[in-house]
C-alpha cells in the first residue's frame, strides 16, 4: 500500500512538472477596419451579427440583450448605440434600461448611460434614431404610454423624456428634429433646442386611414425624408424643413393590370430604398385584406421620382425581408423562408453569394 501511494504521488508530481512547461496561449483582440457600405447586421435572437456583403464573411457579434429593438451607427465617432433592458432575475425582477455605447473597432461596450425603464422592446429600426448633428440619440418608449428619451452621446448623459401621446417611432430628419407616425393617420414633428430639450412640435393633417389602409411600421429613409408604404400599396413621401411638414400626394405601386391578381406588399421588412438612385424595392404577394405579413413571391422596383415600376422579378423562394445596401450598384440582402441570407446584384438579378447560417433567426436587417 505504501509503495502504491508513493508511486501515485510521483506520477502527480511528474505530470505537474510536464504541464508547467506548456506555454499558455495569449488572448488577443481583433480590430475591425473602417466600415464600408457593404457592412450590414442581422439582428437575431442572440445579438447583432455583423457581415460584409462583398465577401459574405461574418466580422463579429454585438452581444445585445434580447430586448434590444435595433441599433444606431455613428461612423464619425466610431460608435454603435443600443438601448438595452436588463432584469435582475433574467426573465423577471427589477428592470434597468441603459443606452450602451459600443466601439466599432472591437464591438466591445465602452460606456453605459441610464435611461428611463420604458424602452419599447419590439424589434424595429425606427425605435432608435441618431439625429443629424451626431450628438443626440432618441429612444422610443412604450409603457403603454408613449414617449421619447433623448440622450447626449457626446456628454454621455440622459437629457430628458418627451411625452408623445398617440405617436410612435422616431424618424430623424435633420440635426435637431425627428418625425413620428401617429395613431390618427398623421405625423408629428418634434424639434429640439441645442441643449436637447423640446422646443416645438408640429402635427400634420390626417393623410392615411388607420382603419382602411394603414401604413407599415417598417419605413425607408430617402435622400430628403422617409418613404411610407400602405397595406394596399400606396406610397407617401414625408419630409420636414424647419417647422414645416411636407407629405406628397400618394401614388400606387399596384397598377391597373396588377389589381386583378390582388397584389399587395407584405413581409416583416417589405420596403427598402437605394438613396443614390431613388430606387425603392418592395416585396409583393397575392392576397386579400390583412395579409400584410405574408412573405413576398415577387420583388418590384420603382423609380420614386418618376413614380413608375422599373423591374418585376418573380422569386424562386419566398422572401420575408429585404435590405438594399448603399453601394454604387445596388446590392440587396434577402431573407429567405429557409433562414438563409442571399446577396444579390439586384438590378442584374444575379445571386452573388449565400450566407447559410446568419445566426439563430432573422429578426431585423440593418445597414451598418
Domains, the chain, ordered by start: 64-206 (2.130.10.10), 214-368 (2.130.10.10)
pLDDT score for 19: 54
Q: Which of 170, 236, 162 is nearest to 205 (CA)?
A: 236
Q: Which of 65, 99, 67 is nearest to 80 (CA)?
A: 99
CB 301 within 8 A of CB 315: no
Q: Which of 312, 324, 331 is nearest to 365 (CA)?
A: 324
Q: Please, where are the H alpha helices in the chain?
A: 2-19
Per-residue pLDDT tens digits for 211-230? 999 999 999 999 999 999 99
CB 363 within 8 A of CB 47: no
CB 233 within 8 A of CB 265: yes
Strands 220-221 and 198-203, bridge-based pairing: unpaired
pLDDT score for 25: 77
Which residue numbers in the chain have pLDDT < 70?
1-20, 259-260
Is residue 161 packed enough to be buried (19+ CB in 10 Å), middle (13-18) or exposed (0-12)? Answer: middle
Q: How far apart are CA 128 and CA 133, in angstroms?
A: 15
Which of the 8 DSSP states describes residue 269? B
Per-residue pLDDT tens digits for 116-163? 999 999 999 999 999 999 999 999 999 999 999 999 999 999 999 999
CB 22 within 8 A of CB 347: no
Q: How far apart are CA 305 and CA 195, in angstroms?
A: 37
pLDDT score for 29: 77
Stated pTM of the model: 0.90
Calculated CA dihedral for residues 291, 294, 297, 303, nearest 10 degrees: 70
Helix (H) or strand (E) holding 171: strand 167-172
Amino acid at each position: 500500500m505504501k509503495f502504491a501511494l508513493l508511486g501515485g504521488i510521483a506520477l502527480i508530481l511528474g505530470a505537474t512538472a510536464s504541464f508547467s512547461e506548456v506555454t499558455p496561449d495569449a488572448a488577443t483582440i481583433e480590430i475591425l477596419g473602417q466600415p464600408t457600405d457593404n457592412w450590414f447586421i442581422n439582428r437575431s435572437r442572440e445579438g447583432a451579427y455583423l457581415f460584409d456583403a462583398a465577401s459574405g464573411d461574418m466580422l463579429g457579434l454585438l452581444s445585445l440583450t434580447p430586448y434590444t429593438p435595433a441599433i444606431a451607427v455613428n461612423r464619425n465617432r466610431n460608435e454603435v448605440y443600443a438601448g438595452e433592458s436588463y432584469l435582475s432575475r433574467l426573465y423577471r425582477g427589477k428592470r434597468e434600461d441603459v443606452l450602451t455605447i459600443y466601439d466599432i473597432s472591437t464591438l466591445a461596450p465602452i460606456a453605459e448611460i441610464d435611461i428611463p425603464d420604458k424602452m419599447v422592446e419590439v424589434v424595429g429600426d425606427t425605435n432608435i434614431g441618431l439625429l443629424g448633428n451626431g450628438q443626440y440619440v432618441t429612444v422610443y418608449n412604450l409603457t403603454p404610454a408613449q414617449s421619447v428619451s433623448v440622450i447626449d452621446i457626446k456628454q454621455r448623459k440622459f437629457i430628458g423624456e418627451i411625452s408623445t401621446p398617440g405617436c410612435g417611432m422616431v424618424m430623424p430628419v435633420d440635426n435637431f428634429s425627428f418625425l413620428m407616425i401617429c395613431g390618427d393617420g398623421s405625423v408629428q414633428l418634434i424639434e429640439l433646442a441645442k441643449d436637447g430639450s423640446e422646443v416645438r412640435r408640429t402635427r400634420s393633417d390626417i393623410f392615411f386611414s388607420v382603419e382602411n389602409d394603414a401604413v407599415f411600421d417598417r419605413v425607408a429613409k430617402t435622400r430628403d425624408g422617409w418613404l411610407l408604404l400602405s397595406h394596399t400599396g400606396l406610397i407617401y413621401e414625408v419630409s420636414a424643413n424647419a417647422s414645416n411638414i411636407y407629405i406628397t400626394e400618394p401614388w400606387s405601386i399596384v397598377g391597373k393590370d396588377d389589381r386583378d391578381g390582388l397584389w399587395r406588399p407584405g413581409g416583416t421588412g417589405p420596403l427598402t430604398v437605394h438613396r443614390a438612385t431613388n430606387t425603392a424595392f418592395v416585396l409583393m404577394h397575392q392576397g386579400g385584406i390583412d395579409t400584410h405579413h405574408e412573405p413576398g413571391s415577387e420583388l418590384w422596383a420603382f423609380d420614386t421620382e418618376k413614380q413608375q415600376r422599373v423591374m418585376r422579378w418573380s422569386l424562386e423562394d419566398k422572401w420575408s425581408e429585404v435590405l438594399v445596401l448603399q453601394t454604387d450598384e445596388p446590392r440587396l440582402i434577402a431573407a429567405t423562408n429557409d433562414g438563409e441570407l442571399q446577396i444579390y446584384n439586384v438590378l442584374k438579378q444575379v445571386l452573388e453569394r449565400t450566407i447559410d447560417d446568419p445566426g439563430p433567426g432573422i429578426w431585423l436587417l440593418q445597414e451598418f
